[in-house]
Copies of this chain bind each other. A is one copy, B any other.
Amino acid sequence: MSAPVVTFLSDYGYRDEFVGVCHGVIASRCPAARIIDITHGIALGDIHSGALALRAALPHMPAGVHLAVVDPGVGGKRRAIALSTATEGHTLVGPDNGLLVHAAEALGGVRDAYDIAGSPVASRTTTTTFDGRDLFAPVAAALASGTAPGELGKAIAASSLVALELPAARRDGAILLVPVISVDGYGNLELAAFELGTGVLTLELGGHVRDVQIVRAFSDVPPGELLAHVDSRGAPAIAENGGSAAARLGLAPGDLIRVRL
């Protein structure tokens, strides 16, 4: 039998001991657990980016517990939750701020939801700012050890979970206004869903009209040229072969791209 898996995504970054401390808590409570770090480089408090990365990652992960902490409301009134999914064997743990729900959809949707704020396995502490260490990691470790979620929290309605609306494309006459939904480390621009089609995408950018080829691979256009393609998350994206489209076009998440229909 293979080791129980705990995957872990956060905005804790790589400077402080926060990620390591959560690993230590999990390893102390469930020594058999194998921890897979998805990333801890989510922009600070950026629930949208965290939700997109988690949604993209979980379908590639083994069954197990998926711990995710991007939690600007830590210590406040937001709930702490554990979610089982329609796809067997997966349980998501984190704050009830929308971070988890899109990833749960990617695993077939939420089956059961639990409020774990008062979990008996949480650490007693006088501080309120590190629920990753004091609440979420202990719950993840207990789940990885085989404890049923019902013993770690009280059932709540899936319909009561905080939703997170992702930006959507919308039509404006002959133009489709498409928000940039994320920018990866290479400067590739991921766009809100729309039918990319084939041939050429005509963009209006800063008053200029620009034709961009719709291709399968970066190298289908010359180095330094822009391209449109379906990216590794399955979303329409604008990239530059060998460069950063984000830097080239001066675009960031939330900005709108005008696409001619």
Q: Could you list which residues of chain A lie within 8 angstroms of chain B, going by C-beta atoms?
A: 2-3, 5, 7, 9, 12-21, 23-25, 27-28, 31-32, 34, 36-45, 53-54, 56-57, 60-62, 72-77, 126-130, 133, 184-186, 216-220, 229-232, 234, 239, 242
The oligomer's copy count stands at 3
Q: Report yes or no: B57 in contact with A234, Cβ–Cβ below 8 A.
A: no
Which of A20, A28, A242 has its CB near the most chain B CB atoms (within 10 A)? A20
If the complex has contacts A9-B20, A20-B9, A232-B127, are A62 and B31 also in contact, measured as CB distance less than 8 A?
A: yes
Q: Report yes or no: A24 in contact with B219, Cβ–Cβ below 8 A.
A: no
If the complex has contacts A39-B15, A129-B217, are A24 and B61 also in contact, measured as CB distance less than 8 A?
A: yes
If the complex has contacts A126-B230, A127-B231, are A24 and B7 also in contact, measured as CB distance less than 8 A?
A: yes
Q: Report yes or no: B17 in contact with A57, Cβ–Cβ below 8 A.
A: yes
Identity of the chain B residue whose Cβ is nearest the Cβ of A219 in the assembled complex = B76
If the complex has contacts A45-B242, A216-B128, are A17 and B34 also in contact, measured as CB distance less than 8 A?
A: no
